[in-house]
Structure formats: C-alpha cells, structure tokens
Structure 1
Amino acid sequence: MKLGLSSYSLYQAMQSGQLTFSEAIEWAADHGAEHIEIVPLGFDLNKNPELIDVIRQTAEAKGIEISNYAIGANFITEDEASYEAEIARVMKEVDNAAALGVKLMRHDVASRSDISINNFNSDLPKLADACRRIADHAAQYGITTSVENHGYYIQNADRVQALVHAVDRPNYRTTLDIGNFMCSDEESVVATKKNIGIASMVHIKDFYLRPAGQNPGRGWFPTSSGNYLRGAIAGHGDVNMREVLRVVKQSGYDGYLSLEFEGMEECRLASEIGLENIRRIWDEV
C-alpha cells in the first residue's frame, strides 16, 4: 500500500494563491505522501502542455510518485456529434496521462438531474461503449481507466459494478471513494465490501452526516435522499474509517490510497492530520 494525496485536497490553498501547483506537490512530499494524484482544476494540460514537464520534474525532484490523473467527462449529450467529440476529448486526456507517466486515470462518465434507475438502464449501453473505446485507447499505454462513484447518477455500488461489467475490459475498473457512497445514502463499509474487488484506486474521504429535516445550513449539501453531508478531516467524520480500512486491507488490495479532503477546515492542516490518521489506523487494523 502507498499512501498519498489528491491534489484536490489542497485546492483551497491553490485557489487562494497560497500555493502553486508545484508547491502543492512539494508540500505533499514534505508531509509524508508517497504519491500525488493530479486533478487539473484551474489549469488545462491541453492548453498548457508545458505543465506536464513541470509536474513530472517537480515530483521527480521530491521523490514522490504521480499515481493517477483524474478528469471530468459526461457522455450524456444532446446529439451524436457531441458524444463523439466528448470521447475524442477524453482520449486526448489519456494521451496527457501517458505523458505524465501515470498508469491510472479516472474520468467521469455521466451526469443527469433525473437519476432514476430507468434512465440509468437506458443510458448504460452508450455509456459503456464510450468507456470501452477510451479503455481500448488507454491500453496502448498500459493505462487502466476507471469510473469513480460520485455525481449522484453513477454513485452507488451496484451502478458502478453494472458499468464496469458492461464495459468488460481488464483495464477498466473503479476508483473507489469510501466516503462518496454516502452521497447516495449507502453505508461505506457495505459498499466498499461490494466494490473493492474491482478497484484500481482507493480514495479516502470522510463526511459528517445529519438526517433529513435537520439542515445544518451553510457548508452542507444534500444526499440523493435528502440527508446532509459536510466534508470532514479523515478519521474525524461519520465514516466508520477503522472498519472500512480493515475491509480494504483484508481484501488484499495493495495499490494506492489517496486522501481526498474537501471540508471547511484549512486544507493543509486537514490534509496533514488526515494522512496521519489514515496511516495510524491502517497500521492498527
């Protein structure tokens, strides 16, 4: 197991100008991260390809691996031309992932306001086809692509499984976010047990949970069934972190664990504490 950090965890500091992206990589390495996951918020490698070398050289200088490249995508489009354009765009991002030297890449798949199972069943063949074509493109680089359980529409464990099995490629799996299952009102331990066998990457995220009808106000967002969540420092929230990490460890998973913090606390302190908590709990379970 290699514990590291998603660059998204430090986005608060980068957005405010307190850290550059290179400094975020250096900060992660200096605080015990063994790898950094690249999430291109605030920059575009297609428009600024020179950043690829900057990222690689910074990571190499600090002795930290680049584990994963994670981007947005949506194959629910108005017409066939837009669908093909989105596939082509994501394929270009696969090329960027290869240039970064990563062997893992997460791309989003779909978003809808109506997240019904009927829509999911209707959309599944076309979503699977897009992901299959992208996975086939990634195979030439030895890259495994993946879907993350987020965005409400393809979030719960069964829908993720359905997509992965429909794509039916050995290099298409899931980035398993242990906290994100809560957004679709699934219990993290149960959902992790279901999907750890198809995980190429594991995100460690924590949330505070409050029931529907008790909206705590600013900083909280609704789950798909109307409960409320707020991002937490890993180990401080309502995810059963000890049991989830026990499930991951006992499954034999030996890949990257990536802390993804998205709470209201100062992001560097929160990331530092989160990394400490994850490593301590992992060693204890």
Structure 2
Amino acid sequence: MKPIINSQKIMFAFLSLSLIFFVACGNSKKEKTEEKQVVVEGQKAPFFKLSIAQWSLHKFVREENGSPFLFASQAKEMGFEGVEYVNQLYNDEIEKLGFDTVIDSLKKVSDSQGIRNVLIMIDHEGDLADPDEEKRNLAVENHKKWVDAAQKLGCHSIRVNTFGTNDPEVWKESVVDGLRKLSEYAATKNINVLCENHGWLSSDADALMQAIADVNMDNCGTLPDFGNWCVKRKDGEQWGECEEEYPDKYKGIEMMLAKADAVSAKSYDFDENGNETTLDYTRILKLVKDAGYTGYIGVEYEGDKLSEKEGILATKALLLKAEKELK
C-alpha cells in the first residue's frame, strides 16, 4: 500500500465529513415522512427486524462506481433498520484512506442515519479450514482486525467462510481448529463468529452443525441463508456451475436455526404474485419463527431481472407478506 501524505488525509477526512452532513440533512424530511406513515398504518410489527446485506448493492459499488459509504443512507431510504457490511466492497477505500479511517467513517455515517450496524461479512482473508496449519493460523490473524472493527461499529457478529478443503474427513478437523481459534479471540471482544451456508461443506448442514458442536463455544454459531446450498461445483471450484446440492434446504435451514444469530433472506427471481420462484418464503419464515428467532433478517437480492433496488424492495415486501400469512 502506498503511503498517503498528510494533505491527502486531510482532504479525505473533509470529504467523509461532508458526506455525512449531506446524507444526514438530505434524509431528515424523508425520515419524518416514514415515521408518520408507520403511525398512520398502525400495523403490528413483524416478529423479526429488517436489515440489508450490502451484497445486494454490489453492482452499485463495482459497476456504477457508487460510494459504499452511502450504504447506511440507502438502507434508511428503503426502510431498513440495520445493515450488514461486506468487507470486500471497501478494498479501494481501505487502500486510499486506511483501515481505521474507513471503519470510523462507517460508524459516523450509520450513527447519523440512526441505522444499526448488525454484522460484517468477511471474504478473501484466508481459509479458516485450510489443511495447512500455518496458512490456517494466518487466516485467523487476518480475521482479527475485522473482529475489532465489528466491535467498534457496534455489530454483534462477523460472518466467515469455511473454505480450505472439501474433503469431509480433513475438513472436520481443520475447520474446528480455525473456528475455535478465531472464536476465542472474538469472545474477548464480545463478538460472535457466524458460519453461513456459503458453498462446499458449509452448505452441508449436517457437517456444519457437527463442526459447530465440536467447537463448542457460545459465540460460534450460524447464519442460515435461504439459498446457497451447493456443496460441489464443477472442477472443484468454489464458485461457478453447481454439480451437487444439499438434498433438503428446508431441513438445512431448520438445523442451522438452532445456533443462528443472523438470518439471510436470499432471493433470485419473482413470479407475477411477488413470490420467489425457487424458495417458499412462508414455509421458511415459519421455521424461523418456530425456532424462536426474533433478530435481524437480512435481505440479499442476487437476481439480474430487476434492478438492485427493485429486487431489494421486492424481497422486503415478500418477507412482510409471508410473515402476515403466518398469523
């Protein structure tokens, strides 16, 4: 990373503060309108709280060159209570501003919007289940700064991946070691380490829940995603064409809910009635409610037929509609 001279730092700090002021002022009227609508409607609140996963807006950042610092204000505008950050969407900002400045700026912006920072999704910091202990330990060390960031932001968790090997016999030993070491550090910061069904053996609910049980720490849990059930991809790749899926995603979600501290509402496409074409939201929400979960459900739209904002709002509307059908 190239050093940044003081004048540049001053300019970046000024821009960050200007952004915070602009966002806060620009949304004050909108916030009052939204509050008024809630009072008029007088509807009973759902059993869960609504957050948005930043991956739903990754095209805004990567293809439209939008600022990821606008995330909290975008979430507020669309009626969400909380945000779930994606660390890889801040790579350029970290390179320019420095890690601590980015995290401090996110805290100021979210506070100005009255938005709750829920968790950070961590990618590309090494494989916590790498069979090579030296590489696995390095991955643990790389994740620690994100644990610190989560604490600073007021998040309750980080979401991690469990890549490294897709050999179940090797994985069941290496993943437990990596997760335990990271969870031990995270416990000192009062932060949870959550495993999402995010491909390979993490999408095998039976194997994942056994690993969580073997770690046997209160702050090591799960983030069940409605989608993401591919356990094997073509040519052994982490991403790409799926060759094998976990046989029963509803069973998988139910199993993972036993240790869930977050939930991700994945969506890909919708029919003419606003229902997700591959996932039964009402059935899934019943599982969530029956498990006694009352925390945040994060909207994560990954489709390509609607714009990101349209897909996000369609997913949010479907969650609320499905929740009403349970009553």
Quick check: TM above 0.5?
A: yes
CA distance in 2, matches of 1:188, 1:78: 28
CA contact (8 A) 1:74 1:86 kept: yes
CA contact (8 A) 1:3 1:279 kept: no
- More helix by proportion, 1 or 2? 2
Q: CA deviation at 1:155?
A: 0.8
Aligned positions of 1:252-267 closer than 5 A: 252-264=292-304, 265-267=306-308
For 2:186, the equivalent position in structure 1 comes to 138
Would you say 1:197 and 2:258 are equivalent positions?
yes
CA distance in 1, matches of 2:178, 2:195: 12
For 2:140, give the aligned amino acid.
Answer: I
Q: CA deviation at 1:11?
A: 0.7
For residue 120 of structure 2, give the secondary structure of its aligned residue in structure 1: strand
For 2:319, the equivalent position in structure 1 comes to 278
Would you say 1:107 and 2:107 are equivalent positions?
no
CA contact (8 A) 2:194 2:222 kept: yes
Question: Which of residues 287, 304, 309 is equivalent to 1:247?
Answer: 287
Q: CA deviation at 1:76?
A: 4.4
Q: CA deviation at 1:98?
A: 1.4
After superposition, the C-alpha distances for 1:73-129 in whole angstroms (9 at most, x for unaligned) are 4134474332221111112221121122211111112144xx3xxx21222122111
CA distance in 2, matches of 1:193, 1:48: 37
Larger Rg: 2
For 1:2, the equivalent position in structure 2 comes to 49
For 1:5, give the aligned amino acid.
Answer: I
Q: CA deviation at 1:68?
A: 0.7
CA contact (8 A) 2:127 2:135 kept: no
**Which blocks of at least 5 consecutive residues in structure 1 are unaligned?**
207-230
After superposition, the C-alpha distances for 1:25-81 in whole angstroms (9 at most, x for unaligned) are 211111111100011223245843211121111111111101011102413447433
> RCO higher in 1 or 2 (8 Å CA, sep ≥ 6)?
1
CA distance in 1, matches of 2:280, 2:257: 16
CA distance in 2, matches of 1:76, 1:187: 24
For 1:150, the equivalent position in structure 2 comes to 198
For 1:59, the equivalent position in structure 2 comes to 110
TM-score under structure 2 normalisation? 0.73
CA distance in 2, matches of 1:106, 1:42: 15
Question: Which deviates the most, 240-249 or 185-194?
Answer: 185-194
Identity level (%): 21
**Which blocks of at least 5 consecutive residues in structure 2 are unaligned?**
1-47, 232-244
Aligned positions of 1:61-210 closer than 5 A: 61-72=112-123, 73-77=126-130, 79-112=132-165, 115=166, 119-181=167-229, 184-206=245-267
CA distance in 2, matches of 1:14, 1:204: 21
CA contact (8 A) 1:188 1:240 kept: no
Distance change in 2, residues 1:185/1:124 (3 Å): closer
After superposition, the C-alpha distances for 1:195-228 in whole angstroms (9 at most, x for unaligned) are 211111100113xxxxxxxxxxxxxxxxxxxxxx
Q: CA deviation at 1:143?
A: 0.9
For 2:161, give the aligned amino acid.
Answer: D
After superposition, the C-alpha distances for 1:162-182 in whole angstroms (9 at most, x for unaligned) are 111111101100111121236
For 1:232, give the aligned amino acid.
Answer: D
Q: CA deviation at 1:24?
A: 2.5
Aligned length: 256
For 2:315, give the aligned amino acid.
Answer: G
For residue 297 of structure 2, give the secondary structure of its aligned residue in structure 1: strand
CA contact (8 A) 2:223 2:256 kept: no
Q: CA deviation at 1:131?
A: 0.7
Distance change in 2, residues 1:240/1:32 (3 Å): same
CA distance in 1, matches of 2:119, 2:280: 25
